[in-house]
Amino acid sequence: MSSCRPARSVFRVAPAMWRAILAVLFAAGLSVPAHAERLITALSSDLVSISSNFTGSQIVFFGAIERDAQTVARPAGYQIIIEVKGPPTNVVTRQKERTFGVWINKDSERYRLVPAFYAVLASAPLDRITPEAALARMGIGMDMIPLRRAAEPVKPFRSVYERAFLRLMQAQGRYMQDAGAVKFLTPSLFQATLPMPANVPVGTYEAKVMLFQDNTKLAEETYPIEVAKIGFEQFMAKYSRDHGFLYGIATVLMAGATGWLAGIIFRRD
């Protein structure tokens, strides 16, 4: 399987727009009592629309870190981790084995309610932002995401099937981890771009933006992202769910008519 690379960008933030957006955000923040560090984050879009010519997209995260005037300055700089999880799904990983010259499925392993899409964007390698035990407890990162059990304060053991599952999902572009995706434009302003492949699943996603300093999480913001079909694709998907029997009959009739028409066109006299 090959990974899909987005072909276009949904939103690009120009320097002038940066200043305007952040000015609005800071002005809004003045009405809320500040305490220690606070994240002010926004997304370029919280809706990814899938049509017949969808080839991938991008979502831009941008934001600022607001400090209380009474907050004690710390020597270490800020770090950001953005975690995006897609809708939960059930997956079976199977092992193929060649028997009498034929490849057949042998043993398998099932995973329940794992993310159909998973991405981690960070401003530095994860183990430099917070200790491994904290990453394991929060289940953040490709090495720590729980697949068969709840997150624990120790790195999970990966079976052969789990490693194969993660490898295949990465090859499809549906699982990713980028330790340099979050860029700090100033010590308190950051930006990151999340690529959404053409095969991105439909559903509701959760984007979590986390602020770290000195190996400690200081703040967190969560945002929903919706990936939905539009136009004729949306109509057909809804019709197939609401009227499955009629949709099945129509599909069989259409396939039969297509085969009959192809037979007439390419018939040899």
Say whether pTM exceeds 0.95: no
Retrieve residue 227's tokens: 């990936």
Helix pair 232-242, 244-265: axis angle to 10 deg: 120
What pLDDT shows up at residue 97?
75
Domains of the chain from N-terminus onward: 15-230 (2.60.40.3880), 232-269 (no CATH)
* pLDDT for the residue numbered 28: 46
- Looking at residue 13, what is its pLDDT? 47
pLDDT of residue 225: 94
CA–CA separation, 234 and 227 (whole Å): 12
* Sequence letter at residue 214: D
**Edge-first strand listing for the sheet containing 47-50:** 47-50, 216-229, 203-213, 79-85, 118-122, 175-178
Q: Name the E strands within 86-171.
A: 88-99, 102-115, 118-122
Local structure of residue 158 (DSSP, 8 states): P
How distant, in Å, are the alpha carbons of 44, 236, 249, 254 from that of 259?
46, 22, 16, 9
DSSP 54-65: ---EEEEEEEEE
- Coil, strand or helix: which one is 23? helix
| Residue-wise pLDDT tens digits, 68-121 | 766 666 666 899 999 999 999 998 888 777 777 777 777 888 889 999 999 999
Would you state the pLDDT for residue 224?
Answer: 95
pLDDT of residue 75: 60
State the CB neighbour count (10 A cutoff) for residue 194: 22
Going along the chain, which residue ranges are E strands? 37-43, 47-50, 57-67, 79-85, 88-99, 102-115, 118-122, 175-178, 183-186, 189-196, 203-213, 216-229
Torsion over CA: 172, 173, 175, 177 (sign):
positive
CA 57/CA 9 separation, integer angstroms: 6
Contact by Cβ (8 Å): 144, 151: yes
In the prediction, which pLDDT does 95 show? 79
C-beta of residue 220 within 8 angstroms of C-beta of residue 210: yes
Amino acid making up residue 133: A
Predicted confidence at residue 237, as pLDDT, reads: 63
Spatial separation of the C-alpha atoms in residues 150 and 179, rounded to whole Å: 24
Digitized pLDDT (tens) for each residue of the chain, 269 residues in all: 434 444 343 344 455 455 545 544 554 454 444 457 889 999 998 889 887 788 889 999 999 998 876 666 666 689 999 999 999 999 888 877 777 777 777 788 888 999 999 999 999 999 999 999 999 999 999 999 998 878 788 888 888 899 999 999 999 999 999 999 999 999 899 999 999 999 999 999 999 999 999 999 999 999 999 998 776 556 566 656 677 777 788 788 888 888 777 777 777 65
Q: Return phi, psi of residue 123, to 5°.
A: -90, -5
pLDDT score, position 20: 44
Q: Which residues pair with 178 in a beta bridge?
A: 121
